[in-house]
Amino acid sequence: MENIQSAGPLAGLRVLELGQLIAGPFATKTLGDLGAEVIKIEPPGTGDPLRQWRMLHEGTSVWWEVQSRNKQSVAIDLRHPEGQHLVKALAARVDILVENFRPGTLEGWGMSYEALAAENPGLILLRISGFGQTGPYRDQPGFGVVGEAMGGLRHLTGQPGAVPVRVGVSIGDTLAALHGTIGILAALHERTRNGGKGQVVDVALYEAVFNCMESLLPEYSAFGAVREAAGSALPGITPSNAYPCLDGWVLVAGNGDSIFRRLMEAIGRADLAQDPELVHNDGRSKRAAEIDNAIGTWTQTLSIAQVLQALQRANVPGGRIYTVADIAADPHYRARDMILESETARGLRLEVPGIVPKLSRTPGSIRTRAPLLGENTDSLLAELGYDARAIQALRDAGVVA
């Protein structure tokens, strides 16, 4: 594991995670990478379902090793009244609590924000759910895929007239997690200005997606325009598309005015570079098909490497479409510490994504591997004042593991 001395900019903050799978745990992963102490509550026996998702090594997902680094695992049955009591006691000792259950779940366990804040007035509670804590849809189940669809993203993905496709990762959950992390940091800053008082951060999956939909709504409001799927193009921003080469596809983003002129010169189309109708993006967008055809006619006679060399000489943004094998082999990723090495509890050495964002003076780090289920139960309960006999009694009763 990489040895970085900095404890990170969030060192000293304690986070209690009650979530599972992706959205809540990705938010706490981000906080943990930046130095916060993260205590993850998992159900005894099964743990977070993510432990069993996708490809496994000796029964545990390698995805788990990334999502749960820099975390401690405490196995407590939240359905048990004594388990609820234990989690309330832990919540009184932390700065931040993160949950991504359906609205009302915490309240059903006697852990409303009002009840928790009565014991810990400075507590910041991040609540991630499908549709938020209020509104007519609040009680409906909502996963990231639903948020992506309702937020407008799914309608724009894929080829025109074809079945809308999903982005290849759980982007809705991740966007919600990142918005939640922003909310936590804002609430922490406000807490220092308001006498140490905490608050609730309410993030809905569909809203996190919708917040990233750029001009979708104002264009509909002003013009009645309903944006449709456009394949690899970006309608209204020209040229920005994928173009065929002899050995694959290349992405070209020549939509800046001066960039467009350089691009047209590079592909031997000085006539388009000098066309007064194409000086600005609005004019180019009206002739997008013509411009795309000109670029594609040029790229299809060349290899990807030849196209990229020509684009670099002309100072035009372009790139190949990376597979994970390309990422793993790329020297820039490694120069930026975006590929780090970690080791699982069972001794498997893994390459894992690095820390984002990067801070110059207090960078984040991977300080601890992902925990085994309940690995830190005893130490956290001891902190609450339970001795070995009391912990064993809780274990015998099935409250903890």
pLDDT tens figures, 53-78: 999 999 999 999 999 999 999 999 99
303 and 260 in a common domain: yes
Q: Provide the pLDDT for residue 6.
A: 62
208 and 343 in a common domain: yes
pLDDT in tens, 290-348: 999 999 999 999 999 999 999 999 999 999 999 999 999 999 999 999 999 999 999 99
Is residue 91 domain-resident?
yes
391 and 343 in a common domain: yes
Is residue 199 domain-resident?
yes
* Max Cα-Cα span within the chain: 85
As beta bridge partners, residue 251 has 242, 319
Which of 293, 325, 357 lies at the terminal end of a domain, its last residue?
325
Structural domain boundaries, residue 287: 240-325
Task: Output the domain CATH number for residue 129.
Answer: 3.40.50.10540
- Residues with active-site annotation: 173
Q: What percent of the chain has pLDDT over 70?
A: 99
Which of 325, 346, 361 lies at the terminal end of a domain, its last residue?
325
Contacts 24+ apart (CB under 8 A), 182-185: 183/126, 184/27, 184/31, 184/96, 184/98, 184/124, 184/126
Is residue 2 domain-resident?
no
Which of 279, 305, 325 lies at the terminal end of a domain, its last residue?
325
pLDDT in tens, 290-304: 999 999 999 999 999
Residue identified by tokens 């080469």 is 245
Task: Output the domain CATH number for residue 285.
Answer: 3.30.1540.10
192 and 52 in a common domain: yes
Is residue 1 domain-resident?
no
Is residue 252 domain-resident?
yes
pLDDT in tens, 211-231: 999 999 999 999 999 999 999
Q: For residue 41, give both structure tokens.
A: 């509550």
If one counts the domains in the chain, the total is 2
123 and 31 in a common domain: yes
Residue identified by tokens 């196995």 is 75
Q: How many residues does the chain have?
A: 401
Name residues whose C-beta falls within 8 Å of residue 186's C-beta, 6 or more positions apart in sequence. Answer: 201
182 and 301 in a common domain: no
- Mean pLDDT, the chain, as a whole number? 96
* Contact indicator for 129, 100 with CB cutoff of 8 Å: yes
For 253, the enclosing helix (H) or strand (E) is: strand 248-253
Q: Which of 64, 37, 50 is nearest to 352 (CA)?
A: 64
251 and 110 in a common domain: no
Q: Provide the pLDDT for residue 60.
A: 94
Is residue 337 domain-resident?
yes
Q: How far apart are alpha carbons 146 and 149 in whole angstroms?
A: 5
Is residue 229 domain-resident?
no
Q: Provide the pLDDT for residue 4.
A: 40
pTM of the model: 0.94
169 and 37 in a common domain: yes
266 and 309 in a common domain: yes
Is residue 221 domain-resident?
no
94 and 62 in a common domain: yes
308 and 166 in a common domain: no
Residue 50: alpha-carbon gap to chain centroid: 15
Q: How far apart are alpha carbons 177 and 248 in whole angstroms?
A: 34
158 and 121 in a common domain: yes
